[in-house]
Amino acid sequence: MMRRLVPVIVLLCLIAPSLRADDPVRLSLKEAEQRAVDNHPKIRVGHYNALATGEIAREYKSAFYPSVSASFTGAGAQDGTRIAAGGLNNPTILDRFAAGFSASQLLTDFGRTGSLVEGQLLRAEAQQQDVTTRTADVLLQVDRAYFAALGSTAVLQVAQGTVDARQLVVEQVNALAASGLKSSLDVSFAKVNLAQAQLLLVQAKNDVEAAFAGLTAAIGSTQPVVYELSDEPLPPPLPDDEAALVAQALKDRPEIAAHRLTGEAASRFASAERALWFPSVSLVGAAGLSPFHQTGLTDRYSALGVNVSVPLANGNLYNARRSEAEFRVQVENEGLREVQTEITRDVTVAWLSARTAYQKVDLTNQLLAQASDALELAQGRYNLGLSSIVELTQAQLNKTEAEIEQARARYEYQARSVALRFQLGTLR
């Protein structure tokens, strides 16, 4: 008995994963957004860029701390040996083996290092704003894909209902034609309408699968999933004037904050470049032991000194670097102006698109109500023999198109509202 059960159990184990993969996954909009924020590589790239930029600030800041290095040196020389060529150095070679350390500490470079650190910290803050921008962009794509999937699902339901309704008409017309109450032409028209509905259903199924694939990619996943999505309430009506929205966007958009921070960082770097002409003062020291040494030397050594480096001439290199940095400041300022202009345009266009989509929701509701009434009247007239099947099929087509337009208008308005929130900088 057990030998017979083993193959069945193995077969069920092989089939079970595929059955589970086909089960729809319940997913709300908030859950989809959270998954994208946690998993999407685009957000992680921005986060790692911000961390890397912060480390550059630490690199600059290291100049404020002592630099210490250890050395081990051994040398042996023939008697009377001297270095005669190769550089300006002490030519004497002394026999010894020694170990010690040397240290240096920057005392002041008159603000250059401080300006570099401040500028890089500002760039790190700008990179954090870039993370916010990337997050908003990912959320925009997720919301768009989510509402597109809801719209495709609604169209699929309309297509399925249309096929069922037209199949019923075909059966009725066939029965009437068999009784001699309707002609074969009516049967042909009814079958043509059914075939059109079936084509619509096939396309709707494809669109749903494509929409689910787009939603999966927007979330940042690579596994194909069939979703069971929950509907979202319609956003409230939009304000009548976009001026307040533009002002809000100019205040809240992370791109604006990033450009301002980058401009301030460029200004700090220009200050650092101006400080290149200032001297730098460092404290330098060395100490160690020499257990093996030439006669006449001690077994210990130590020294302490101050080094002052003053630039005198470098072929106008520092002047060119300073001018370049100041021009970069102007580039950032003009870039900020350009972004402000683009945001003003984008907010206005997004507001107009969302307002038009909101108007289409009410109009498509009216269209569907009128198409439903027209279909009811056409069905009654056809049943009474007062009209041809052409009138009935046209009424059916009108209702189907009205249902599709209503479904699309609803989710288009939700997608347009999300796009407006993105342009305002409130989608986070």
Span 3-26, average pLDDT: 48
Q: Is the pLDDT of residue 11 over 90?
A: no
User: pLDDT for 140-193, tens place per residue?
Assistant: 999 999 999 999 999 999 999 999 989 998 998 898 888 888 888 888 988 999
Q: Is the pLDDT of residue 5 over 80?
A: no
Q: Is the pLDDT of residue 72 over 50?
A: yes
* pLDDT at residue 299, rounded to an integer: 85
Distance of CA 102 to the CA centre of its chain: 48
The one-letter amino acid at 281: V
The one-letter amino acid at 293: H
Closest CA to 255 of 387, 128, 73, 393: 128
Span 334-350, average pLDDT: 96
Residue with token string 């037209």: 166
Confidence of residue 3 (pLDDT cuts 50, 70, 90): very low
* pLDDT at residue 387, rounded to an integer: 84
User: Is the domain covering 34-62+108-280+317-424 a CATH 1.20.1600.10 domain?
Assistant: yes
Higher confidence at residue 298 or residue 255? 255
SS3 per-residue string spanning the chain: CHHHHHHHHHHHHHHHHHHHHHCCEEECHHHHHHHHHHHCHHHHHHHHHHHHHHHHHHHHHHHHCCEEEEEEEEECCCCCCECCCCCCCCCECCCEEEEEEEEEEEEECCCHHHHHHHHHHHHHHHHHHHHHHHHHHHHHHHHHHHHHHHHHHHHHHHHHHHHHHHHHHHHHHHHHHHCCCCCHHHHHHHHHHHHHHHHHHHHHHHHHHHHHHHHHHHHCCCCCCCEEECCCCCCCCCCCCCHHHHHHHHHHCHHHHHHHHHHHHHHHHHHHHHHHHCCEEEEEEEEEEEEEECCCCCCEEEEEEEEEECCCCCCCHHHHHHHHHHHHHHHHHHHHHHHHHHHHHHHHHHHHHHHHHHHHHHHHHHHHHHHHHHHHHHHHHHHCCCCCHHHHHHHHHHHHHHHHHHHHHHHHHHHHHHHHHHHHCCCC
* pLDDT at residue 185, rounded to an integer: 87
Confidence of residue 87 (pLDDT cuts 50, 70, 90): low
Give the number of other Cβ atoms within 10 Å of residue 421's Cβ.
19
Closest CA to 56 of 129, 124, 111, 108: 124
* pLDDT at residue 384, rounded to an integer: 84
Q: Which residues pair with 51 in a beta bridge?
A: none
pLDDT exceeding 70 applies to what percent of the chain? 93
What does pTM read for this prediction?
0.82
* pLDDT at residue 22, rounded to an integer: 58
* pLDDT at residue 178, rounded to an integer: 87
Distance CA 186, CA 338 (A): 64
* pLDDT at residue 76, rounded to an integer: 78
* pLDDT at residue 415, rounded to an integer: 96
Span 404-416, average pLDDT: 95
Span 228-252, average pLDDT: 92
User: pLDDT for 289-322, tens place per residue?
Assistant: 988 877 777 888 899 999 999 999 999 999 999 9
* pLDDT at residue 88, rounded to an integer: 65
Higher confidence at residue 76 or residue 173? 173
Q: Which residues pair with 68 in a beta bridge?
A: 103
Q: Is the pLDDT of residue 216 over 60?
A: yes
* pLDDT at residue 274, rounded to an integer: 95
Distance CA 161, CA 375 (A): 15
Span 68-97, average pLDDT: 76
Task: Share the mean pLDDT of the chain.
Answer: 89
